[in-house]
Amino acid sequence: MDSPRPPSFSVCLAAGGAVTKGMMMRRLLTAVVGSGMCLVLLLAAYVAKRKLGLDVFPGRDMLPDAEIKAAVLGTLALLTLPLR
């Protein structure tokens, strides 16, 4: 038998109840993971577009490839720890 589901964040707020630290952490984790997944999917779509040579408007560069590559490499440099 399933255990009863705890009330959601918005239900607790609407009822004037207490919002627990666990509820806040679960919301934060969901937002971070969801945002990360969206970023990964967008990056994968961009890489596939570059590899396949797809253009929405042939002959016209709509996305500045060099700037996007520099931004991605800069982000990766910020996220990686220097090995010593």
CA dist., res. 64 & res. 45, Å (int) = 15
**Total-model pTM:** 0.54
Domain coordinates of the chain in residue numbers?
9-79
Give tens-digit pLDDT for 26-77: 888 888 888 888 888 888 888 888 888 887 777 777 777 788 888 878 877 8
* Angle (nearest 5°) at CA 65 between 59 and 71: 165
So what's the pLDDT on residue 65?
78
d(CA 44, CA 6): 36
